[in-house]
Amino acid sequence: MKHRRPQPAATRPERSALVQIEKPIYGGAFLARLEGKATFIPLTLPGEEARVRIVEDKRSYATAEPEKIVSPSPSRVQPRCPHFGICGGCSYQHATYEAQLIFKEQILRETLQRAAVSPPEQIEIVAREPWGYRNRIRLAFDASGRVGYRGRRSHDIFPIKECPIAAPLLVNAALAAAQILREQSPAIKPGELSLFCNPEESSLLATIFAAKPAINDFDRFATAWKQRIPHLAGIECVLQLSIDQTSQQLARWGDESLPYRTAGFDYRVDHDSFFQVNRWLLDEFVHRVIADHRGTLAWDLFAGVGLFARQLAQHFDQVIAVESAPSSRQPLEQNLQGTTATPHISDTLSFLRAQPSVSRPDLIVVDPPRAGLGPEVTALLGHIGAPTVVYVSCDPSTLARDLKALLAANYSIASVTLVDLFPQTFHLETVVTLHKS
């Protein structure tokens, strides 16, 4: 007689349990304890009692899905988006916006404290209108050519009808593109679609990621799309590649960039240039980073298209803007023309390695990707010893790690500001000002 082997913990049959929700966790879930084990549950709220279904049970933690909210939190509201819960984009639409801001401050504070970084008693929070704020979205096409987002617990694509956190022009353009591609241009075979608009929604850039299309089909498609969406300024079709490969443009129609006015200046932004997504908060965000800093020399590291460098040029005799992304090179050069700022095409680590001690700046602004600065960059920053460093972070964990290293290099935290560039989601942006002791 054969004996059935016990199933691994992660694949045991699903079971239900009643839990008390404790607090938010970075990543969009909330923490509960089930028989002492940390259990991560989305779509719940602190203080709620919920019946949940365990979907993954590992040695040190479990994940679950809510089946029923037994005692709802006073902060619970009806989500505005009909796709909420299925879509992987938003995590907090079921909570009041006031509660969302509390979650984010709590997560930021606890993340810093776990890294032995003591945040100031007051973390300033900057927030504005939490809907319709996104100036950029990226969608995917399903097998039938409908456009949508990836699912919350899978990579499956589900079609959308709306997206309340995005500028309406973006959603209208996406739905129109999908319809035209299905009906008129089946040869293009799109995989994904990226859309970017200016704050007034008067100009739109689009990038289609696809296999090689017939150029005649692409031109015909572009003309039809422009007729449906008059604000469409430019489209590029890019060969869909893996994340570590350089993209290859297959075709282009119209403009390669659009002017984006913020903080008193029209920035050139190209199709695939990085630019902050919140059209309501961008002016104030720039002001929080630049503040009243003045001096002789400033460095803007991870400069992108020069969002901060262009503003720093009004306060410093010389600004060096360091950026390595090829897509940002031309916009950066154009945005800094006629100013005291100079673009330096290099990655940040190579730039810092090459700096002699005599070139110490008065101010360094760093705005790294989610991976943060890392040990060598923070060590070099500590060695250079600029009087002031402003760290702009989109990930609290890497921020905490890097701040710990900078504090060890005799920096101290002067202020921490949480700028909520991503309402309804778990993402948070932090601006930290440090002074050298």
Cα(305)–Cα(270) distance, rounded to whole angstroms? 9
Cα(365)–Cα(348) distance, rounded to whole angstroms? 12
> How many CA atoms lie within 13 Å of 365's alpha carbon, on the beta-carbon side?
33
Taken in order 269, 396, 192, 326, the sign of the CA dihedral is positive
CB atoms within 10 A of CB 20: 15
pLDDT tens column, 114-147: 999 999 999 999 999 999 999 999 999 999 999 9
* Segments of the chain scoring below 50 in pLDDT: 1-11, 13
Look up the CATH number of domain 109-129+274-436.
Answer: 3.40.50.150
What was the pLDDT predicted at 6? 47
Q: Under 8 Å CB-to-CB from 215, ≥6 apart: which residues?
A: 251
What was the pLDDT predicted at 213? 66
DSSP state of 76: B
Cα(300)–Cα(298) distance, rounded to whole angstroms? 7
Helix (H) or strand (E) holding 92: none
DSSP state of 147: E
Tokens representing residue 200 in the block = 């007034």
Best CATH choice for the domain 136-261 from the list 3.40.50.300, 2.60.40.10, 2.40.128.20, 2.40.50.1070: 2.40.50.1070
Look up the CATH number of domain 9-76.
Answer: 2.40.50.140
Cα(280)–Cα(88) distance, rounded to whole angstroms? 23
What was the pLDDT predicted at 357? 67
| Phi-psi sector, 143: left (phi>0), alpha (psi -120 to 50), beta | alpha
What was the pLDDT predicted at 245? 58
DSSP-derived 3-state class of residue 94: coil
Burial 122-155 (b: 16+ CB within 10 A, else e): ebeebbeebebbbbbbebbbeeebbbbbbebeee
Q: pTM score, two decimals?
A: 0.93
Q: Can you list the alpha helix ranges (DSSP code H) found in 272-385?
A: 282-290, 307-312, 326-335, 348-353, 375-384
What was the pLDDT predicted at 358? 65
User: Which DSSP string do the residues of 15-68 spell out, in sequence order?
Assistant: EEEEEEEEEE-TTS-EEEEETTEEEEETT--TT-EEEEEEEEE-SSEEEEEEEE
What was the pLDDT predicted at 4? 45
Tokens representing residue 299 in the block = 């460095």
Q: Under 8 Å CB-to-CB from 262, ≥6 apart: which residues?
A: 199, 282, 283, 286, 307
What was the pLDDT predicted at 214? 67
Cα(155)–Cα(135) distance, rounded to whole angstroms? 23
Domain spans of the chain? Answer: 9-76, 109-129+274-436, 136-261
pLDDT tens column, 53-92: 999 999 999 999 999 999 999 999 999 999 999 999 999 9
Identical fold between 9-76 and 136-261: yes
Q: Is 282 exposed, middle or buried (0-12, 13-18, 19+ CB in 10 A)?
A: buried
Taken in order 223, 224, 225, 227, the sign of the CA dihedral is positive
